[in-house]
Amino acid sequence: MKAKILSVLILGILLAAQQASACPFCYGAKDGKSTEHMAIAIWFLFGAVLSVIGGIGAFSFHLWRHGRMPVEPHQEITEEDLSKYE
């Protein structure tokens, strides 16, 4: 029983390894044009994602910094006794 399971497992691993190296791009051909273009696309998308995350971080820092600034005197809400208006 164990020999049968072991032989099926080995056969599955060999077939999976053959499918993984099916094309030169997946295999990692360094001289292929498609490999160079894919590397450029990956770096471009990496930069795009980092710029979006950086923009969110910069905006969050802007909100945090302006949230800690003191309020101008004409913008302060003063608490006054409103009972005299009733």
**Owner of token pair 């292929």:** 32
Greater pLDDT, 82 or 36: 36
| Residue 45 in this model has a pLDDT that exceeds 90 | yes
Q: 30 falls in which pLDDT band (50, 70, 90)? A: low
pTM of the model: 0.49
Q: 20 falls in which pLDDT band (50, 70, 90)? A: low
- Specify the range with the lowest mean pLDDT, choosing from 27-31, 46-50, 66-70: 27-31
Residue 19 has a pLDDT of 53
Residue 17 has a pLDDT of 59
CA of residue 86 relative to chain centroid, distance: 58
In angstroms, rounded to a whole number, what is the distance separating the alpha carbons of residues 21 and 37? 20
If we measure between CA atoms, which residue out of 47, 49, 23, 45 comes closest to residue 35? Answer: 23
Residue 16 has a pLDDT of 66
In angstroms, rounded to a whole number, what is the distance separating the alpha carbons of residues 25 and 37? 11
32-to-23, 45, 56, 68, 76 alpha-carbon distances in Å: 11, 20, 37, 54, 66
